Structure 1
């Protein structure tokens, strides 16, 4: 069982949407547990009206220690609260740090990167990767943002999640981006999930 968490100190980075995109895509082939550890309970509220496949289960946690007591799954995807970063890191196999393609967001993620690096110094097996989120499909900013993020010294995913109306729309309809009916959102999610799966499985 591999546990993957979306972590940033900054709010509004798109952790919940990214977690849903990843969990929904992985659930196409694997048993996935989606854990809501965010105080806003966005995932929990979404699940109440969602038509979940049998391969996707939502679990609401109140503290990081709850990650010790989860049902068995192939993958665990965790949506975290901004202030819980340090507490959740010991329970993760892979930390994913979303970042929008703007100078302010690239600067803001630095604090979380340093926190992750400090944890890796004591636990070298913890994997981490940055990825570009909310990228406009009609811009070349993705490569520029990825190049800037690479200066932080941790891997940057080659895949990105684009700024598509299908992401929030699918969630409002109780779906995941991969089941939204939008080919762009579906392809984004599947490519994103495949890269993450390879990363976490290859160690």
Structure 2
């Protein structure tokens, strides 16, 4: 399956989710490659930091921030079980290419009505992509949310009847994610029993239960 994490709005935590989702999918011996399609290269920076710290490689990570991604991704996907794309913010050509490459699009949003409204441009691109990929699946995922806060509940309610729908799993605002980014590790490697590790595991399990098949190329 090719999973793209995309949102035109920056700061939604795409890279953190992409890295942790790739790591979680790779836990049981599945072959996973992460494509860093963001010109900022934050996922590649994380991998380089991981190597400097001497941590073992658990999934492949390559940079591919160009608008030919949709033509190159199918070949890359043939050698793995899952391909995770960390998409770019506000680069329409790259975004379109990532959408055309994906089987599933995850749209991270923070618990704020403004984040929901800011996704309008992203949804317009998704609608455009479905002209060519009518079976392209998409889901919102609530990220960086404070537990039991009113704004988190209101955002979830706002997206409840939305298309795309909201995943049941949500990811909290956790200090461990910042530690993971700085040290080239994953939350599970820092504390296997942490709320962050459990939330990422629940997210990965929910995505796999969707049983989305890789589109034929």
Query: What TM-score, normalized by structure 1, do the two folds share?
Result: 0.91
Decide whether the 8 Å contact of 2:112 with 2:152 is kept in 1. no
CA distance in 2, matches of 1:81, 1:56: 20
1:171 and 1:177 in contact (8 A); partners too:
no
Please say if residues 178 and 190 of structure 1, whose CA atoms lie closer than 8 Å, have aligned partners that are also in contact. no
Give ranges in structure 2 of 5+ residues lacking alignment.
none
- 1:75 corresponds in structure 2 to 82
Listed one character per residue, the Cα deviations across residues 23-80 of structure 1 (whole Å, up to 9, x for unaligned) are 1111111211111110110010110121555541111113124424426111111101
More displaced 10-residue stretch of structure 1: 112-121 or 185-194: 112-121
Q: Deviations over 1:135-185 (max 9, x none)?
A: 012524333212212353212100011100011111211101222216111
- Cα distance change on mapping 1:173 and 1:55 into 2, 3 Å: closer
Aligned CA-pair RMSD: 2.0
Which residue in 2 is equivalent to 1:169? 179
Please, which of 131, 134, 152 is the counterpart of residue 142 of structure 1?
Answer: 152
1:132 counterpart = 2:108: no
The reply on whether 1:9 has 2:8 as its aligned counterpart is yes
Aligned residues between the structures: 202
Structure 2 counterpart SS, 1:33: strand
Equivalent position of 1:61 in the other structure: 64
- List alignment gaps of at least 5 residues for structure 1: none
**Taking structure 2 as the reference length, what is the TM-score of the superposition?**
0.85
